[in-house]
Chain A
Amino acid sequence: MIAYRSIVKKIILSVLLLTVVCFDKQVLAQDGKALFQQNCASCHAVGKDLTGPKLAGIEERVPDKKLLYAWIRNNQAVLATGNKYFTDLYNQWNKTAMNLFPNLTDEEIAAMITYVNTEAAKATAKPAPGDTSAATQAQQSDNSLLFGILTLILAIIVLVLMQVNSNLKRLSDEKDGIPSYEPVPFYRNKAYIALFAVILFIVGGYYTIQGAIGLGRSKDYQPEQPIYYSHKVHAGTNQINCLYCHGGAQEGKHANIPSLNTCMNCHMAINEYAGEKLYREDGTEVNGTEEIQKLYSYTGWDPDQKKYVNEPKPIEWVKIHNLPDHVYFNHAQHVNAGKVACQTCHGEVQEMGEVYQFTDLSMGWCVNCHRETKVQFTDNKFYSIYEKFHNDLKNGSMDSVTVESIGGTECQKCHY
């Protein structure tokens, strides 16, 4: 046994080491991807031209690493030196100015280029076959139906047994010579009728009240939109930050549906969809390229001439999340001050094709969250005025400050 121990030790150690190495590498690659998405993706793609040129093979085109890095950081400075290659490139791309990234480190740029190279290599290999998600239609195990049937069967058995019991009683009474009355059928038996009425009242009342409370709530509301806009493709596959389009969520009351020029930042160049197949809820397939064409018809963009040719018209999206007029809700309060993730209220939007309402947006749901959510009490200096709570936190008589403890469930937090 003892002999094995050292071998085991060694194995564990090497496995650990290996994991660390692998993990390390993975971090780098991930970093490259994230950085790319964050900084480059709105204008560049790996495999094709967007607002800027495609990046695959960038190292072959610009072998001078130093020059390339300098260009990425501050392209204006490189242009100022009069470098021929970049000047030509600049002119070729209609003198579209590239953003400046003075804060990128060499390591970060290297990571992004590594990511670009691996993606380019992947693209040259066989593209992955279509999606499998459609096949895996989850079997919804609906237990309630089963329970219902069971209850019904049991109830019938009980009734039958009761009937049998009364019959047997009648027989034994007859045997004992006790005179028997004509039996009352169960549907005219007052006890049964009373029982039935009470049950009907309780069950009916329960559902009526539930229904009444639910009036005007629209959880799972998923209207068909004028354009099949897939959050899954944008926020999921392409990792576009929510705030890139819904920037208002940082600043004010409304998260805002992006204006069409925001869409066109990318879609001037991306005019076809070549990703995984898209399906509507009813299973019909969506042609992504056609949906992009719809955007063009709204904006009046002609992808061939690469310019706007028609008068633009706004898109009438169907509003999904509706709050009553007497409720004041401010996105900035939650996203910016409260640091609440979008998904907390909107669900895993990056997994949704067309968006549906994830929560019921009821007052109970709001209040519940306010009761449970902890405030960024020490991080945000706004809360420094709550001296009493800070003392309580220090001496341990309070373990955390929830939204409720600073008045988050009071009426005029939301109603005024």
Chain B
Amino acid sequence: MEQKKYWQSFGELNNSEAHQKSAQDEFREELPFESFDAEGLGDAKTPRRDFLKYVGFSTAAAALAASCEMPVKKAIPFVNRPVDITPGIANYYATTYVSGGDAIPVVAKVRDGRPIKIEGNELSTWTKGGTSAQVQASVLDLYDTARLRFPMANGKEVSTLDAFDKMVGEAMASLGAAPLVLLTSTVNSPSSKQVITEFLAKYPGGRHVQYDAISYSGMLLANEASYGRRAIPSYNFDTAKVIVSLGADFLGTWLNPVEFARAYTKGRKIDEKNISMSKHYQFEGMLSMTGANADERFTHRPSETGAVAASILALLNGGSVSGVTGDKLKQGIAKVAKDLAANRGQALVVSGSNDVNVQVIVNAINEAIGANGTTINWGAPMQNKAGIDSEMATLVNEMNSGTIGAVLIYDVNPAYDYYDAAKFISGLKKVRVSVSFNEKMDETTELCKYILPSSHYLESWGDAEPKAGYISLMQPTISPLFKTRQWQDSLLKWSGNATTYADYHKNFWTTKLGSNETYLKAMQDGVIEPATAPAGGGGFNGGGVAAAVTSIASAKKGGKVEVVLYQKASIGDGRHANNPWLQEMPDPITRATWDNYVMMSPVKGKELFDIDLTNNTQADQYEAFPEKPVLKVKVGNNTEVELPVLLIPGMHPDTIAIAVGYGRSEKIGRAATGVGKNVFQFASFNGTTVINYADAAIEKTAAKYKVATTQTHSSYEGRHEVVKEITLDEFKKNPTKILDGRAKELEPWGGLENYEKDGTLYPVFDKPGIKWGMNIDMNSCYGCGACVVACTAENNVSVVGKPEVLRAHDMHWLRIDRYFAGNINDAESIQTVFQPMLCQHCDNAPCENVCPVAATNHSSEGLNQMTYNRCIGTRYCANNCPYKVRRFNWADYTGADSFGDNMDGAIGSNTVINMMNDDLTRMVLNPDVTVRSRGVIEKCSFCVQRLQEGKLEAKKAGRPLEDRDVKTACQQACSADAIVFGNVNNKNSAISKERADNKNRLFYVLEQIHVLPNVSYLAKVRNTDTLSVHAEHAAETHAAPAAGSKPEAAH
């Protein structure tokens, strides 16, 4: 059998010249040597005399500066120390992350009064402490310099809240009979709902409209038709043996990804004694993160989703496939239908479509496969999305007709994200009283007459019930930084209620829970959950199915090219666009930062731009330079956007995909300024719901645009294998295949047993007490990037901005490498593997030997230590690191140096770095981790500050170290539990057990070079018949590769 070839870049696939060159050079820039040869030193830019002058001057200046008096530092204690605060010791408060209906129970780490890190709340049964990248990054939003700092009326600051209340009160009193509308995102907070009810009671004719930027009305309405409930059930991905997703990115952005990812990966964990796992099929037009994790994936146009669903239903009911094109797709549908039928009661179908008809058919499929009541739980419906598109459309019409008296806006931004934003804006201008409670001067807020910014969730009281019966409470972790007030407080005040929301909230829950003690306990825990998980099915009514099928069959066929709008796991619907941590997090699939772009199939790319990615020169031209061709995308008659193109294998050839959430107003902050373009206007309203795809006219332009991708920044220099993968069938037949392979490879050097000793000239060093080790299960990792942001937050990792990412100066200590395998011209053959890559803490580390000043060396606990104050920046270590995980501080990114403007000119104008250097933003820095200065190398430390703290806790208690004492930031953030960390010397620790229980899948990356990593990986198991093989015989040679279109192992 041919070796499966994984590749990160097209250059690597073809082994192109540019790839070979970049593999040789760790740092892609030329060293700034000047040429002396011809002219001699005197003519050089810096002649010898000048050089000596500068040396003399700087030595004298340094001596003078250093011999000045030491600065006097002040130490100012509390006047009256609060009982629960000990300076230097962090407090943890349970609270809730909320963002437009989504709510995740979290614990905020508060150090000396400042929240600096968000962790998941492990008491929650449905997240079990899992988080997402957005949750992890939300703490930075608290310190966003662009937050509104005071109430405003007609564009001017209002000095006091009382004055503001008076102004709004008078304005609303003058409304007369014109109704008032409270326009919010989905509200699932029980106490806030009560506040809203009481508020609206004071304003007869007033109503509450909920609006979700990414609408789920299709599901809500379909469920109303099928189950008689306008709600969304819970999904049990963990008990489903067969999971079929019709374009739902349920691991990344769909509905409630943290919960789904936890459940999904639970069903994908492999027990070596009893090998089984769920099977995941994905049908979609673009390559989503969820699709990238699928065992089998079939592509189709977005407009065909309904036909695919109808065909599956037809096959289940004994009918036949209709309305779809492509043999592979048809075969796939047949296969899926067969598999679904065979797994009745253990299968689940979900769809990301917002079309009511599609969702009705999906409901019928789920009914046919017995999912209702087994994998679909109506006992605890999801409540995080409740917006109905038609209600919003009605409101916009009424606003335009001038009948609405007042609009109070909280947490929504239709002027940016409504499909017909222009209409909303013109309507808003006709409303007499417009009030915004949004935290920022966003597109909608700037059009409002009255602005009273609400507080950040870390400054607020509150609660949320994202699933019926599962409540998560919110408490402030810091006093409001600015003159802001929670929107609930304003509503209470304006409805004539004198109690503050804090008291209201306390009374509400004390009454509900019975006593003050239970209230305090609930606040401490952060979550209130039912004693037994409610479960059950819904009463199904198949009445509307036939009509839905008919309407799907008669639906208009898509045009030549279709554009589909999607959300990135990082930016989402754009409300976090000013968060530099999220902007700089590489997209799981494209590995691009700081932009949105058109994702396009290489087939289309060849057709349109004549870029043949299997041709070396052309692939290099496309890939080795950041300049990407720009495409003009036109939908309908008047919306036209020009965006750069990224060629992504796995895309349907006639589908292009563009992420929403970009192109924000520059008033929401410096990080969002000039990043990407808004494409919400490409969505359309079909009379019932908003549809997120459209026919597009595309046209190539002569322009080029630089996209900062991190894909080609690190290379293994042709070494392999970096990832290991096996099919489920093969793993069952031959469980020790990977282990045997390793044994065979290491045989000449002592085999698996004696490799450490026999494979080297160096002595083996003792690890007498603790030896830290990490294991990453590649079968659980689905690439979401929560760990990347968690690492950034915990370790003060710098944000460098787009210009620096373009120069490969990105600083992430932990990256998630994305590998493709398969034929780039065949979307169905593409298989994707995600591999988190961080410092491997090699016991025989190549970086340590080459450091001339011993700034990096090994500890007796197995840590590869990096000592910043000793580093002189030779970068030999980074050059010698086989994993390419060391990062160099090319500039003073986080303001560590004593001199304020000690930054390179080019970087000094990089607005994002300036933003991160603001005194307010710097409040997020972890005081236990050194802020690295310019000119030093840094890398993953295994969160050594947490290790030291955990050890100290154990020492203080006089007991041995336990697993619960230490968790790395990435481990804690992971909702898939893909990362296990601990003391390997303790045979009973979780890490030892994980390695012992999974020895057949265990491997070390580049084990054969005897660097002895302390990070092990578990091979990915793909529940499919074959692994995609890319037939590239010439892969490792310089010979010109074949055309690259050889037949693949078919599905």
Contacts and interface: CB of A to CB of B under 8 A. Distances in A.
Contacts of B86: 247-248, 251-252, 256
Contacts of B80: 259-261, 312
B766 A407 contact: no
Interface stretch (A126-134, A174-182, A332-340): A332-340
Interface residues of B, number: 52
Contacts of B948: 328, 330, 413, 416
B768 A330 contact: no
Given A253-B88, A262-B81, A316-B74, A385 B770 contact: yes
Contacts of B70: 216, 218, 221, 322
B73 A330 contact: no
B895 to A, nearest CB: 12
A322 B73 contact: yes
A316 B959 contact: no
A65 interface: no
B79 A223 contact: no
A221 B73 CA distance: 12
Given A326-B930, A410-B865, A412-B865, A317 B75 contact: yes
B886 to A, nearest CB: 16
B958 A316 contact: no
B941 interface: yes
A253 B77 contact: no
Interface stretch (B117-125, B401-409, B867-875): B867-875
Contacts of A247: 86
Contacts of A147: none
Contacts of A218: 70
Contacts of A337: 952, 955-956
Interface string B764-793: 001011100000000000000000000000
A258 B88 CA distance: 14
Contacts, number: 154
B849 interface: no
Contacts of B766: 388
Interface stretch (A83-91, A98-106, A376-384): A376-384
Contact of B79 (A251, A261, A413): A261
Nearest to A415: B867
B422 to A, nearest CB: 52
A317 B73 CA distance: 9
B577 interface: no
B79 A259 contact: yes
B79 A314 contact: yes
Nearest to B73: A319
Contact of A259 (B78, B859, B870): B78
A115 interface: no
A80 interface: no
Contacts of B863: 412
A324 B773 CA distance: 31
B510 interface: no
A260 B78 contact: yes
A251 B952 CA distance: 10
Contacts of B960: 381-382, 384-385
Contacts of A254: 87-88
Nearest to B89: A252
Nearest to B859: A410
Interface in B850-869: 857, 859-861, 863, 865-869
A312 B79 contact: yes
A194 interface: no
Interface in A358-399: 379-389
Given A215-B67, A382-B958, A384-B960, A314 B78 contact: yes
B398 interface: no
Contact of A411 (B74, B867, B959, B986): B867
Contacts of B944: 412, 416
A75 interface: no
B411 to A, nearest CB: 38
A70 to B, nearest CB: 30
Interface in A285-343: 299, 312-319, 322, 324-326, 328, 330, 332-333, 336-337
A382 B955 contact: yes
Interface in B923-957: 928-931, 941, 944-945, 948, 951-952, 954-956
Contacts of B952: 330, 332-333, 337
B76 interface: yes
Interface residues of A, number: 56
Contacts of B99: none
Contact of A386 (B768, B859, B865, B929): B768
Contacts of B135: none
B877 interface: no
B985 interface: yes
A185 B859 CA distance: 62
B958 A380 contact: yes
B393 interface: no
Nearest to A221: B70
B702 interface: no
Contacts of B74: 316-319
A260 B77 CA distance: 8
A67 interface: no
Contacts of A413: 948
Nearest to B85: A259
A313 B80 CA distance: 10
A412 B941 contact: yes
A247 B958 CA distance: 19
B66 interface: yes
Contacts of B860: 406-407, 410
A150 interface: no
Contacts of B869: 324, 326, 415
Given A251-B86, A333-B955, A382-B958, A328 B77 contact: no
A257 interface: yes
Given A248-B88, A251-B89, A411 B870 contact: yes
A245 to B, nearest CB: 10
Contacts of B72: 223, 318
Given A215-B67, A251-B89, A332-B952, A385 B76 contact: no
Contacts of B945: 328, 416
A216 B69 CA distance: 9
B930 A416 contact: yes
B944 to A, nearest CB: 5
B261 interface: no
Contacts of A411: 857, 859, 865, 867, 870
B961 interface: yes
A256 B867 contact: no
B88 A252 contact: yes
Given A314-B76, A412-B863, A407 B769 contact: yes
Contacts of A258: 77
Q: Among B865, B866, B945, B956, which residue has the most Cβ atoms of chain A within 10 A?
A: B956
Contact of B75 (A318, A382, A385): A318
Contacts of A221: 70
Contacts of A415: 867-870, 930
Contact of B769 (A260, A380, A381, A406): A406
Interface in B77-131: 77-81, 86-89
B81 A382 contact: no
Interface of B: 66-67, 70, 72-81, 86-89, 766, 768-770, 857, 859-861, 863, 865-870, 928-931, 941, 944-945, 948, 951-952, 954-956, 958-961, 983, 985-986
Given A259-B78, A383-B769, A386-B769, 8 more contacts: A216-B70, A257-B75, A299-B79, A324-B869, A337-B956, A381-B958, A382-B955, A407-B859
22 contacts: A218-B70, A248-B86, A253-B88, A256-B77, A256-B88, A312-B80, A314-B76, A315-B77, A318-B72, A318-B73, A325-B930, A332-B956, A379-B958, A380-B955, A381-B959, A382-B955, A384-B960, A406-B769, A407-B861, A410-B860, A415-B869, A416-B948
Pick the 7 closest A-B CB pairs, nearest first: A253-B88, A259-B81, A259-B78, A337-B955, A254-B88, A252-B89, A319-B75
